[in-house]
Amino acid sequence: MKLAFSSPLAYVLAVAALLAIAYSNHFRNGFHFDDSHSIQDNIYVRDLKHIPRYFTDATTFSVLPLNQSYRPVLQTTFAIDYWIGGGYNPLAFQIDTFIWYLLLLGSIAALYFTVTADRWVALVATSIYALHPVCAETVNYIVQRGDLMSTFGVVLALVVYIRWPGQRRYAWYLIPFALAVLVKPPALVFPALLAAYLALFDERAKIARSIAPAIVLTIALAWWLSYMTPPTATTGASDGARYLLTQPYVAARYFLMFFAPAGLSADNDWTLVSGPSDPRVVIGLGFVAALSWAIWRLHRADATKAIAYGLIWFVIALLPTSLTPLAEVANDHRMFFPFVGLSLAATVAAAILLRVLIAAPARFGTATAVIAVILVAESAGVYARNEVWKTEESLWRDVTEKSPNNGRGWMNYGLTLMARGDYRGAIAAYDRALPLTPNYHLLEINMGIAYGQIAQPAEAEQHFQRAISLEPADWRSHRHYAQWLMSAGRAADALAHARISLELNAADREAVPVEHATKHVDNTAEYHLARSLAEFQMRRYRECIASARRALELRPAYAEAWNNIGAAHNALMEWTQGIAAAEEALRINPDLQIARNNLAFARQQLATAK
């Protein structure tokens, strides 16, 4: 493939100019979504002294136990960005991400040239990838720098292995691979990509022996990742079997998104298939069959081996997110790694078609015009996506438009409205989210906050308590409830939940002002009763009993404390103790209806048990 440029350098400069223009509006884009728990709320990012701990303690990666994965190299870059920027300065974080992106593009160009031995194909394929709008989803999303850096490590490892065969015995190529894995686990597919390359382009290679060092390191790294990942971490999948059935269809949609990247969404609303008979399963399996057939046909001819390798790359790079059931069925940033292969395959295929369909005299001009149109269109798409990622409101408004059945999208959009004081607008957005995500505790927290701001206390408390019942160990439910309770003048309840919030997450200090403001009720009977009730809501029944007994030490004739003891014993199915405690509550206060209800329930259960 040749273009109507005076030299490859002129083409590179033109593409660099387009890249600069396309991303010129992204450098001050802020933090979004998972950036909050892994960067903004994470105290371990705020001091370089914590860097050694990243490599020994994965709980430093996120303030959310469910999201505490082992990514020490990625986290190190966040700490450096925080130090350079003097705090949470998005500019420092975005510049760092973009530098890694440029390094990745350089390594991709080297890989493409190594595979094709055609500098023009390598340059065009690199430019198509560089300006693809899908890449903007990763470049803008700071925490997903992990996709970018891990892809860079894998590509660089391949380039080092292929271009310096004399150095293979020293295994230098394994260094970028190992670092890539310590950024994000999908890099573990490196041995498969290396094996595919050797099978297609090095007929003399003994594949098993050649990839053995990488396989050994992969096994060691996989074990280490598993060992270092806290037991609280989860992938969040609701149905693993249906997730796996859905992924072939997801792969087909990803493939089409390379050629028509319309409808990009930061948080899409793709759903799981209903079962094996779902038409999407048939479509997905048909796509996999067609892709497998294409790879088999294309790998046999020297001219099309690069296309086959690009398609194999697409498949292999999708395996980590396809075989590991995740909370989201699909996510646009997951295309970042696989599209390295598709960019190569599509460009090589286009170059072949160009030679077959266009006569030599018109070939250069046609290729130049087509590529110019593609790159300019891609640049416009990137610029538009950067605008979407500019603020939380613009991002989540876009999600509600592109993915209207995404409850989390509606909730986050409601958060942006609430941030500017539009509480009724926020509630309207939350009401859209509620039927889509009926058991989402963060939604319940935010509904509690919004109703509290418009002076509807009953509704506010109902939502706060439901948030706690859904996720008792999430400190945010207790912290926001404590703040609302303090504003409602309920000091004992506020102190109880503020203390629990700090116990669940000492790193989040936002509950400290509540604790300080309500210390006058500390160690009172009312405080211990409130603590007992909070522990009951959290299903910590033994702790509930202990706190209620502390209240009784201060006020022996405290009917409500005896009632809490009875309710906790009932929850533990200790009916005799529950009856005794409820009877004592009624002896002190015969009009305490809740104790009467607990007594009747315990007697009924005891009678049934006999």
pLDDT in tens, 37-56: 999 989 999 999 999 999 99
Which residue type is seen at 100? Answer: W
CB 602 within 8 A of CB 570: yes
Which residue among 423, 453, 472 closes a domain?
472
Q: In the prediction, which pLDDT does 480 show?
A: 96
CB 495 within 8 A of CB 515: yes
| Closest by CA position to 467, among listed 492, 428, 437 | 437
CB atoms within 10 A of CB 16: 14
Question: How high is the mean pLDDT of the chain?
Answer: 94
Strand partners, 326: 236
Same domain membership, residue 354 and residue 431:
no
Look at the block and give the residue holding tokens 């396309």.
Answer: 22
Handedness of CA 264, 269, 272, 273 (dihedral sign): negative
State the DSSP string of 121-181.
Answer: HHHHHHHHHHT-HHHHHHHH-GGGHHHHHHHHHHHHHHHHHHH-GGGGGGTTTHHHHHHHH
Look at the block and give the residue holding tokens 């223009």.
Answer: 21
Same domain membership, residue 413 and residue 286:
no
Does the pLDDT of residue 508 top 90, yes or no?
no
Same domain membership, residue 418 and residue 384:
no
What's the Cα-to-Cα distance from 318 to each of 115, 254, 308, 322, 506, rounded to whole Å? 21, 10, 16, 6, 38
Range of the structural domain that residue 462 is part of? 406-472
Nearest-angstrom CA–CA distance, 58 and 330? 25
Which residue among 424, 441, 472 closes a domain?
472
Q: Residue 307 domain-assigned?
A: yes
Q: Residue 361 domain-assigned?
A: yes
CA dihedral 105, 108, 114, 119 (to 10 degrees): -40
290-295, Cβ contacts within 8 angstroms, sequence gap of 24 or more: 291/255, 291/315
State the DSSP string of 507-542.
Answer: T--TTHHHHHHTGGGTTSHHHHHHHHHHHHHTT-HH
How sure is the predictor about 194, in pLDDT bands with cuts at 50, 70 and 90? Answer: very high
Q: Residue 379 domain-assigned?
A: yes
What's the Cα-to-Cα distance from 230 to each of 50, 58, 70, 347, 489, rounded to whole Å? 18, 7, 8, 43, 39
As separate numbers, helices (DSSP H) first and strands (DSSP E) second, the chain gives 29, 0
- Percent of the chain surpassing pLDDT 90: 88
Average pLDDT over residues 411-417: 95
Average pLDDT over residues 395-422: 94
Same domain membership, residue 457 and residue 362:
no
Q: Residue 503 domain-assigned?
A: no
Same domain membership, residue 421 and residue 370:
no
Same domain membership, residue 443 and residue 313:
no
Does the pLDDT of residue 1 top 80, yes or no?
no
State the CATH number of the domain containing residue 454.
1.25.40.10
Nearest-angstrom CA–CA distance, 360 and 349? 17
Instruction: Say how many domains are in the chain.
Output: 2
Six-digit token string for 454: 């418009």
CA angle 47, 75, 102 (to 5 degrees): 115
The model carries a pTM of 0.88
Does the pLDDT of residue 567 top 60, yes or no?
yes
Same domain membership, residue 465 and residue 341:
no
Q: In the prediction, which pLDDT does 527 show?
A: 96
